[in-house]
Amino acid sequence: MYLSIKTAMARIQKYGLVLLSLRHCGLFALKNVGGVHMGKNMFRTKSISEFISETKQDGGMNRVLGTFGLTMLGIGCIIGTGIFVLTGIAAANYSGPALIISFIIAALACGCAALCYSEFAAMVPVAGSAYTYGYVALGEFWAWIIGWDLILEYTLALSAVSIGWSGYFSNIMSNLGIVLPQALVTAPEEGGLVNIPAMAIIWIISLINMKGITQSSFVNNVIVIIKLAVVALFIALGVSHVEASNWTPFMPYGWAGVFTGASIIFFAYIGFDAVSTAAEEVKNPQKDLPRGIILSLIICTILYIAVSAILTGMVPYLQFKTTAAPVAFALQSVGYHWGAAAVSVGAICGLTSVLLVMCLGQSRILFVMSRDGLLPKFFGHINAKTKTPVRSSLLVAVISSILAGFVPIGIVAEMVNIGTLAAFIIVSASVIILRKKAPEKERPFKCPFVPVIPALSIIFCGILVIMLPAVTQLRFVVWLVIGLGIYFGYGYRHSLLSRMRQMKRGEGAVTAVPGKEEAVGKGVSTMSHHH
């Protein structure tokens, strides 16, 4: 434990230096692109009313989702790889039977972050999730950092989950006597040519999402009901086969193992934040969004604790070292072979609904960033017929399917965790900052015990970031540096907010047409095309 604390302190120092150097990079860029004036403009904030007025562009999206639909979206995104794959890895290598405590630690970190998300989701009911909240509280530069970070999180999560889906699909096919050629179901680095099932499922899911939110929500609800039935089946079958002797030693790897287990298990909770990306498609966002976020997290936490207690009670934890499907393995070990087959179907359903919600979330974030001018305007368009951002959905499908087809799962999954944790830290900090900056703003849902809850969220998430492998942290820093290059090279110059503020100051060449409210927006977009 002492060693891990020492390592953690060394990493904090190292990353403190990295952040300082990032800051200096930013300052150097500022000097070269436009001096002090730019430095001030980078942190310009966008008002909630500005964001809400933009949601009416292209006729807006279909507002059809309520508390039930949002809770199902949350469960759809949360229960997937984490419970069906990662539970065994964490129990065997890090937590042992104390997997229950790892789940509780990860749930506390997520719970604090979820309360912060809920405050913002009710305040700023706009599709961009953490990106939008950062824009309102911290300004454009930090909004870009979060948005860029979320692009990483969702794209890689899509790829990682689709690779897991492909593995389960191949397994079910071989059980039916259809053996798929190894070259067509594995990445080049693992001895194959291309992972075709992983690429195919991303395209199928993307096409469903492009059809419209009503269709996406219906498909998700059906899949989630099947998935919850399978988890309930495992609990019902397994509970009578629990042997208390399997729970000793309870904490074989000590507290360091429990916390490392929590940082890996954290992947199992990722998804409640995706609920807030559907904000522009919710009937009553001020009430329904906080309910959807918090309810989905509570339901999943209860199920996770029950599953991890039964799992480690059925099978000695070290036996999970030999399997990638721990839930099916535990049922097989007590003779329920048909139960194991049902779990494989549940896992496929679980992974499919995760893909559906992640794909939906990613396209909405890209869409909002494009609408704000920080990414090319082409992707900030809503299709008139389907009321969905078809162009940004296509971009997501192309990039994530290429990654899924040609990159192995290990590299992809670790990067997802760090991207999510960074977004949680910034959202939690934003709650504290905005309470100080604008205490008078209406908050339909208030995060309790501010600043204690957001501070706990920052501490929890910070510890989990530090516990991740150093190479993952380094890759993340490289990704942020690439993001800074794109922001200073493109985003800053094309920012819609920058154009609007220039026009208000009389710096813009375009004048608004009297009596037409859209003129400003059109003028801005015209200007951005000329740049």
With beta carbons less than 8 A apart as the criterion, state whether 339 and 213 touch. Answer: no
Cβ contact 122:444 at 8 Å: yes
Please tell me whether residue 280 adopts helix, strand or coil conformation.
Answer: helix
Residue 263 Ramachandran class (φ > 0 left, ψ -120 to 50 alpha, else beta): alpha
Take residue 154 and report the two structure tokens written for it. Answer: 């969702």
Q: CB-based contacts of 391: which residues, under 8 Å, 6+ apart?
A: 378, 379, 381
pLDDT of residue 380: 85
The answer to whether 243 touches 235, Cβ cutoff 8 Å, is no
Residue 13 token pair: 């120092």
Burial class (CB in 10 A: 0-12, 13-18, 19+), 421: buried
Which segments of 56-145 are extended strands (E)? none
For residues 283 and 97, the answer to whether their CB atoms sit within 8 Å is: no
**What pLDDT was estimated at residue 410?**
62
Query: Could you give the CA distance from residue 315 to residue 330 in angstroms, rounded to a whole number?
Result: 6
- CA 285-441-433 angle, 5° bins: 100
Q: Which residue has the tokens 């400003």?
A: 520
Give dist(CA 19, CA 14) in Å, integer.
9
d(CA 307, CA 149): 31
Successive 10-residue mean pLDDT values, the chain, 531 residues: 41 44 45 53 83 76 89 89 78 91 89 93 87 90 91 84 84 82 81 89 92 88 91 92 92 91 81 84 92 93 92 92 81 85 83 88 89 90 87 91 80 72 90 92 93 94 82 88 93 85 61 36 35 34
CA neighbor of 42 nearest in space, from 516, 508, 493: 493
**Separation of CA 463 from chain center:** 19
What's the confidence (pLDDT) of residue 506? Answer: 65
User: What amino acid occupies position 303?
Assistant: L
44 backbone φψ class: left, alpha, beta (φ>0; ψ -120 to 50)? beta
Q: What is the 3-state secondary structure (H, E, C) of 6-36?
A: HHHHHHHHHHHHHHHHHHHHHHHHHHHHCHH
Does an H or E element contain 298, and which?
helix 285-314
Please report the beta strands in 57-131, taking only residues with DSSP state E, as ranges in sequence order: none
CB-CB contact of 530 with 373 (8 Å): no
> How far is the C-alpha of 248 from the C-alpha of 174, rounded, in Å?
37
- DSSP code for 185: B
392 Cβ neighbours under 8 A, 6+ residues apart: 363, 364, 366, 367, 370, 379, 380
Q: Give the total residue count for the chain.
A: 531
pLDDT recorded at residue 81: 67
Query: Exposure string (b/e) for 441-479, b if CB count within 10 Å is 16 or more?
Result: eebbbebeebbebbbbbbebbbbbbbbbeeebbebbeeb
Q: Which of 282, 292, 389 is nearest to 77 (CA)?
A: 292
Q: Report the distance separating Cα 101 and Cα 221, nearest Å.
A: 30
* Closest among 318, 340, 317 to 329, alpha carbons compared: 340
Torsion of CA 340, 343, 344, 345, to 10 degrees: 130
Long-range CB pairs of 314-318, under 8 A, 24+ apart, other chains included: 314/238, 314/241, 314/242, 314/243, 314/246, 315/246, 316/246, 317/91, 317/92, 317/96, 317/97, 317/99, 317/246, 317/252, 318/92
What is d(CA 426, CA 437) in angstroms, rounded to the nearest whole number?
16
